[in-house]
Amino acid sequence: MGNFKDLKVWQNAKDISVSVYKITDNEKYKTDFGLRDQMRRSSVSVPSNIAEGDDLSSDRQSIKYFYIAKGSVAELRTQLLISFEIGYISEDVYSSIEKQCEEVTAMLTGLIRFRSK
């Protein structure tokens, strides 16, 4: 515990957040402050909660934060789908980030199982 930067799940989640910041820096999002800001907040929440959870002293406490991170991934996936359906992002961008989100969710599920033992 406490080496969150070494966790592959944290690294992947951080990369998703960076991607979200880049894709929401286009003209379509510049006038849609609500969606842009919500996507940015939910994407940043994922690696932030992984880091906080990993740095706590007990597995029980850590697991709580990993579940919060999973919830934030679900929020982001919803916001990405909406962005795609209203034409803010291309299908390629949507599919790429959606796949990354699915991988992070699976990794978090594994981490939660591991820490639950």
Cα torsion for 27, 23, 41, 106, to the nearest 10°? 150
- The pTM is what? 0.94
Residue 33 tokens, joined: 């402050």
How far apart (Å, rounded) are the C-alpha atoms in residues 117 and 93? 37
53: pLDDT confidence band, cut at 50, 70 and 90? very high
Query: Tokens 């969150």 correspond to what residue?
Result: 4
Q: Which domains does the chain have, with CATH numbers?
A: 4-116 (1.20.1440.60)
Q: What is the pLDDT of residues 18-28, one digit of tens each?
A: 999 999 999 99
The Cα 82–Cα 1 span in angstroms is 36
Q: How many angstroms separate the CA atoms of 66 and 49, rounded?
A: 6
Residue 2 predicted with pLDDT over 80: no
